[in-house]
Amino acid sequence: EAAKKAGGPIMVTFSRGGGQFIAGKAADNTDDAACIAGSVAGALHVRAVAKLYGVPVILHSDHCQKSWLPWFDGMIKASEEYFEKNGEPLFSSHMLDLSEEPLEENIAICKKYLERMAKVNLLLEMELGVTGGEEDGVDNSNVDSSRLYTQPEEVWQVYEALSSVPNGQFTIAAAFGNVHGVYAPGNVSLKPEILHNTQKYIKEKLGCKSDKPV
């Protein structure tokens, strides 16, 4: 409704817990079955009603850590099946948050998934660095503060790996001290200059003219 009034697009995002809520907490969630079913049902619902509002909708899924990969796999499978029938994926994009894993493992798993997702035009959002605070049952309130800030060299490593995937579409969520939740003034130290410095670093690496190559 807000998007229709504003005359613009909107992003609808599903979390793993949100998917389970849609399916019903009493539903069997073995191998994330309820989380998958609820997220898929929600995506189909949004597609059906979006036509009535006449606004573009991006269907996205939020943070997915390593232990939640069955949920991630289930949503991709749904998009693959939808793609076969309709020529486009059910979802628009998915976020894979493996920031708690070693960088090399994070990149390797993301690349593997991007190779699969690229075949059905799904965009991958990957995360570097840890987002502080708590969301969807994941609590990073006491994480080492150094992990809240991504370094340009790390983003470059990701860019090199993922940009090699044919038809691969991806974004990189670099941490600059951003957190989930509500905090008193002065308790959060945001450093958005990290994003500027990263773009500058990769521009120099690529030797390109664009000020925002990533």
Residue 60's DSSP bridge partners are 13, 93
Contacts of 113 (CB under 8 A, 6+ apart): 72, 76, 96, 124
Task: Say which DSSP state 131 is in.
Answer: P
Tokens (6 digits) for 44: 């189909």
Q: How many CA atoms lie within 13 A of 53 on its CB side?
A: 19
Distance CA 194, CA 196 (A): 5
**Which H helix or E strand runs over 75?**
helix 69-86
Distance CA 105, CA 99 (A): 10
32 noted as active-site residue: no
Tell me the pairing of strands 123-128 and 93-96: parallel
Please tell me whether residue 127 adopts helix, strand or coil conformation: strand
- Which residue is catalytic, options 31, 32, 62, 139? 62
| Catalytic site positions | 62
